[in-house]
Structure 1
Amino acid sequence: MHTYRTEPGLAADVPVQISEIEYEVTLRENPLFSDGTPVTVTDVCNAFARNMANDLYGSFLSFIDKVTVKDEQTIRITLNSPMGILLKERLALVRVFPAALPDEALSTLPIGSGPWRYESIDGADGGALSFVPNEHYTGSFPATCKRMVWSVILDDKKRTEALQNREVLCMEAAPEVLADQITESGATVEYVPGFNAPFLMFNCLKEPFDNPRVRQALLYAIDVDNLIARCVGGHGRPCTSLLPDYFRGYHRAATVYSYDPEKARALLAEAEVEELALTLRCNDNWVSDLAAAIKEDWEAVGVAVTVQPQATEALFADLSEVPAKGEELPFDVVLSPGDPTCFGNDPDLIMSWWYGDNVWTRARSCWATSPEFKQLSRMLTRARTTDDENEQQDLWNLCFDLIAAEAPLYPLFHRETATAYYAPNLEGYDPISATGLLLLGTTPMEEATTL
């Protein structure tokens, strides 16, 4: 997650191409799960099948037809069509677990084959996840201490106090407004440019949000530079495309939503929308500050706004099932943060997360019913299957243009990822650009590491 370079994990080597659509992967010698049982090719095939069937992750793996057992150490991957240059990165998304593990165990105390094993999990606010080394691990990144504890602290102030009191050594999502307090305690705050983005998602089944001109108007009406300065301490860049301009595959979109209230009013007039009133659902985390500023901007162009903060689980609780024909989803606009680069940073993956044939397009934005969605899907498939990098980039550019113009869901800015940590206590640690923490190869200078 520092470089997004793929490396063999359970695999002994890179996939071997057998035909245009067939590959074989051999497992490394004698891999074991953390409970001491062998990792089998059946476990690997099952993990792929489960991931492919998942409503969120399945779109990442839609190019796979099936994964089957060839022999006791080898699996065969059969594709729907040629994958081109992205195959290795996409295969690396699948984490392998015992095929016999029931669903309840997967969601309470999973078993894996990595350097750590779960000792206990209490995921509630104020809870913790405790890890100890997997004594059966034989891979390249062994555990570097006797115990690792991740504290679950959602409140910014409480997280900062825990770091200041050295109850934790490393903290993700360090709040910009408390950066001075953090550095005064002796910790380092490091900002890494990444993808993390607050986005607006529109109800594309509901008038007038089914009209792209209305969606565009609401985006043009927002002073994003003000949001960045006011809410994240200047640590962000306004979007000029779905991708930030420092990402591979970046293309400046044909539609860029620079602050233009007059254009917003004109687009609403073109759409024959008068006296628009909407409810803005948002997370009750850092984006709630953005919601207050967005409300001001929208009201300045004549839109009446009610802000409705909700916990993340509640925010999407009624947006998980595909609506029946003629049914209208119970929302107008959602504001929420997202960062699909925790899975990978290739353009196809990022577009597949929010605009693939999955829960986002079918049960949330409901953009999947539009002809533009089908057009995007065709272009993504063509880009995914080519071995010609220039052709692939040209197709991605068309995709970025279409997504920006349609904007069923679209980011406002890309926020730098802020990580706070005590550098002298964590030898070899580097913050990552995605949300989360990565401590593979990090050696703590204390008996236990609390994060």
Structure 2
Amino acid sequence: MDRRRFLRYASALGAATALTTSLSACSGPASTGSNAGAGGGGGSTDTIETGISYALSTGFDPMNASGATPIAADLHVFEGLVDLDPATLEARPGLATALPVKVNATTYRATLREGATFHDGSGVTAEDVVFSFERILDEKNASLMAQFLPFLDSVKAVDARTVEFKLKYPFALFPGRVSVAKIVPKKIVEKDQKAFDALPVGSGPYRMVSATREDKIVFAAYDKYNGSHPAKAKNMIWRLVSDPAARVSAMESGRVQAIEDVPYLDADRLARKVKVESVQSFGLLFLMFNCKKKPFDDKRVRQALHYALDTEKLITTAMAGNGSAARSYLQPTHPDFHQAATVYGHDPAKAKKLLDEAGVKNLTVTLLTTDTGWVKDVAPLVKESWDAIGVKTTLSIGQASAQYAKVDGGSYTVMLAPGDPSVFGNDVDLLMRWYYSGLWPESRYGWGGTAAYKKVNSLLDKAAKATDEATRKDLWGQAVDLVADEAALYPVLHRKLPTAWNDKALKGFKPLPTTGLSLLDVSRA
């Protein structure tokens, strides 16, 4: 991303903080009204109630929604031409009748599902699709989704139900990548974007009735939905319960039928009453170094602090085993997993040797981290590991917004934080560009412009244009090896996400490998 576009997107970076800090709760729309004619509250047999751990940190407009709860809600309200299966993250047709068809190396076409309508009853047209993509690509809108579509040159309506995409260059991942763009009704968005952001209108199986910050989101089934995943409950109520103990209590009492983000220490007890399952996620706990400050401009110092960590102890003690030590930028369950050439096992002797080779003695570190519950449990063990090799470590724990203000101001040395861009897509190109292209390396950890940065992005560009899978995977592997060796921003572990649900009350429920819950294809038992 060039400097001009970088500045355009700088305003969107603050919104992305919610995502990159494990989609932490900040603030959001205070309260909204109801859609005309939406269904009211239902009884126990037609309503699904859940406990959600994050408040409304952003609005719902899918062009820029980045908070955990708005993103999860949008998956029920909106459709893309292509959507990702919430549990497997595999691409499947959404509004389109099939995955986009390749016409030639740089041209694709997609056909809309016949009879699809938005929640106001208006038909979904090719014009709406073109509008949805063009507003993302318009730099004035500073859309977070634009960074995922750099290959897209133009979109046009061939007829009322057919859309044609022109690419700037061949991009083999195109059919799945278009899932980042949700289709919105042009007339409604153009009339009042702020109202749409607060109470969205889509074409999905559920329509949003109301959304109240720090309270609840209410949904009703959209009866005119004609896609493959119709609502199986008349109503849904998502109770926003950020307090872990209150969330567990709601699950135990039967007030809700499912909760996300089960506290690790409560999982075993809760499992005696309901179903509890931890799913391996891409979700990172990463170390990020300010590479503009000495001695962290020396990769040996960054590597030393990774080797010093007793990650297995950290996972066992603070996370009750719900994580896997990083052996790559990707989690071990990822379909394109490649073990990095550098794996940071616990090796205090090697850590000390690297510090000596770098000429660093009596290193003092202030470790910046967020106040996310499980991260607060991990941080003291990181300090313990670093203190053990003679690195005097002070913890600075605070709210995500305040901590990232320090990061964006350059007033930090090392940060320990969670993040998970896999909510947007699961391909390696998307996952790597989130942290290693543009905004993060240029504005947050000062790695942009280095020879290694340029090499990584060159490898990603070549992989994006590669026409065969073997070449693409080889280039991605080289990029993973390089970011592991550099350790400018690199995972300590990949988190497992524990979810609880009453399998006697819900039918078809599956825990997710990303933050949030999916009630698509789920009914009351």
C-alpha deviations, 1:232-280, integer Å up to 9, x for none?
1112211111112232111111111101112112222222222222222
Q: CA contact under 8 A between 1:426 and 1:444: conserved in structure 2?
A: yes
Q: CA contact under 8 A between 2:145 and 2:180: conserved in structure 1?
A: no
Change (3 A) 1:176 1:95: same
Q: CA contact under 8 A between 2:95 and 2:112: conserved in structure 1?
A: yes
State yes or no: 1:23 paired with 2:113: no
Unaligned runs of 5+ in 1: 321-327, 446-451
Matched with 1:323 is: none
The separation in 2 between residues aligned to 1:49 and 1:277, in whole angstroms, is 49
Identify the match of residue 96 of structure 2 among 3, 6, 11: 11
What are the within-5 Å matches in structure 2 for residues 229-308 of structure 1? Answer: 229-285=316-372, 286-308=374-396
RMSD: 1.8
The separation in 1 between residues aligned to 2:196 and 2:392, in whole angstroms, is 45
Matched with 1:61 is: 149
Q: CA contact under 8 A between 1:56 and 1:353: conserved in structure 2?
A: no
Shift of 1:360: 1.8
Matched with 2:248 is: 160
- Other structure's SS at 2:228 match: coil
Matched with 1:34 is: 119
Shift of 1:383: 0.9
- Other structure's SS at 1:383 match: helix
State yes or no: 1:225 paired with 2:312: yes
C-alpha deviations, 1:161-204, integer Å up to 9, x for none?
111111211111111200133123x2111122222221111112
State yes or no: 1:397 paired with 2:477: yes
Q: CA contact under 8 A between 1:248 and 1:346: conserved in structure 2?
A: no
Q: Which moved more, 1:108-117 or 1:30-39?
A: 30-39
Q: CA contact under 8 A between 1:356 and 1:377: conserved in structure 2?
A: yes
The separation in 2 between residues aligned to 1:266 and 1:214, in whole angstroms, is 10
- Other structure's SS at 1:391 match: helix
Q: CA contact under 8 A between 2:285 and 2:494: conserved in structure 1?
A: yes
Matched with 2:195 is: 105
Q: CA contact under 8 A between 1:383 and 1:391: conserved in structure 2?
A: yes
- Other structure's SS at 2:218 match: strand
Shift of 1:402: 0.4
Q: CA contact under 8 A between 1:195 and 1:415: conserved in structure 2?
A: yes
Matched with 1:436 is: 516
Unaligned runs of 5+ in 2: 1-85
C-alpha deviations, 1:278-336, integer Å up to 9, x for none?
2222121110111111011111222222212222233324556xxxxxxx612222211
Shift of 1:55: 5.9
What are the within-5 Å matches in structure 2 for residues 35-184 of structure 1? Answer: 35-52=120-137, 53=139, 54=142, 56-84=144-172, 86-100=173-187, 101=189, 102-124=192-214, 127-184=215-272
Matched with 1:216 is: 303
The separation in 1 between residues aligned to 2:357 and 2:195, in whole angstroms, is 54
Matched with 1:201 is: 288
- Other structure's SS at 2:448 match: helix
Shift of 1:25: 1.3
What are the within-5 Å matches in structure 2 for residues 418-433 of structure 1? Answer: 418-433=498-513
The separation in 1 between residues aligned to 2:152 and 2:406, in whole angstroms, is 30
The separation in 1 between residues aligned to 2:365 and 2:377, in whole angstroms, is 18
C-alpha deviations, 1:91-142, integer Å up to 9, x for none?
1221122234144234321221101111111233xx1111111233221111
The separation in 2 between residues aligned to 1:366 and 1:166, in whole angstroms, is 49
Q: CA contact under 8 A between 2:134 and 2:155: conserved in structure 1?
A: yes
Shift of 1:366: 2.9
C-alpha deviations, 1:42-73, integer Å up to 9, x for none?
32223223434546433321121222333322
Amino acid at match of 2:362: E
Amino acid at match of 1:135: D
The separation in 2 between residues aligned to 1:406 and 1:98, in whole angstroms, is 44
Amino acid at match of 2:145: Y
Shift of 1:416: 1.7
The separation in 1 between residues aligned to 2:135 and 2:293, in whole angstroms, is 33
Amino acid at match of 1:171: I
- Other structure's SS at 2:282 match: coil
Shift of 1:422: 0.3
Change (3 A) 1:30 1:433: same
Change (3 A) 1:288 1:9: same
State yes or no: 1:372 paired with 2:452: yes
- Other structure's SS at 1:121 match: strand
Change (3 A) 1:250 1:407: same
The separation in 2 between residues aligned to 1:106 and 1:310, in whole angstroms, is 32
Amino acid at match of 1:29: E
Matched with 1:449 is: none
- Other structure's SS at 1:316 match: helix
Q: Which moved more, 1:258-267 or 1:47-56?
A: 47-56
The separation in 2 between residues aligned to 1:130 and 1:168, in whole angstroms, is 14
- Other structure's SS at 2:519 match: coil
- Other structure's SS at 2:401 match: helix
Normalising by structure 1, we get a TM-score of 0.91
Amino acid at match of 2:110: V
Identity of aligned residues (%): 39
Matched with 2:52 is: none
Change (3 A) 1:315 1:68: farther
Aligned residues: 433
The separation in 2 between residues aligned to 1:317 and 1:152, in whole angstroms, is 26
Amino acid at match of 2:90: R
Q: CA contact under 8 A between 1:241 and 1:400: conserved in structure 2?
A: yes
Q: CA contact under 8 A between 2:154 and 2:165: conserved in structure 1?
A: yes
Identify the match of residue 434 of structure 2 among 333, 353, 356: 353
The separation in 1 between residues aligned to 2:136 and 2:407, in whole angstroms, is 21
